[in-house]
Copies of this chain bind each other. A is one copy, B any other.
Amino acid sequence: MQRIVVDMDGVLADVAEQFFRYDERDFGIRKEREAIAGKPELEVFKHAARHVLEPGFFRTAPVIKDSQAVLEAIHQRYEVFIVSAATEFPQSLSEKQTWLNEHFPYISWKQMVFCGLKTIIEADLMIDDHFKNLDHFKNSTFLFTQPHNLHQDAGRHKRVDSWSEIGKILL
């Protein structure tokens, strides 16, 4: 069975939306989606570096559309691991696991990986929204579209815009 590794932030958890909300809370106005297109979140949201350290930021992130149903079907046909860069923000570790347990109850603790660099991960396919993770990966790669990676040439990675698109490819 093929092994698929799925990123959390920006693939399952809508951290971009979370940045919009926290930014609006701090500055009183919601940014336009176009204003952040193609720009790193840490650059475009002035308090982003603070927001990711706030208790609750990861715990209360919204779920990305269709990810729960499509990933469940994928999980039934492939070996799925959720691999999240989390050790940079230690308080996020338990928040992320609790979040996964709530929204993706079919994913067991055996299938969770919270790490720093993802270069140590071996699988057949990696689904991620960051080039820094995909570029080091030697097998198949899907670049999940997020505001920060818009306008960038996906290069050797296959760009996917939604979970329904991923489902059409893998199921």
Chain A interface (Cβ within 8 Å of chain B)? 3, 5, 81, 83, 86-88, 90-91, 93-94, 97-98, 108-117, 120-123
Contacts and interface: CB of A to CB of B under 8 A. Distances in A.
Contacts of A115: 112-115
- Copy number of this protein in the oligomer? 2
Contacts of A90: 94, 97-98, 109
A112 B116 contact: yes
Given A111-B116, A113-B115, 16 more contacts: A86-B114, A87-B97, A87-B114, A90-B97, A91-B94, A93-B94, A93-B114, A109-B116, A112-B115, A113-B114, A114-B114, A115-B115, A120-B122, A120-B123, A121-B121, A122-B122
Nearest to A116: B110
B117 A110 contact: yes
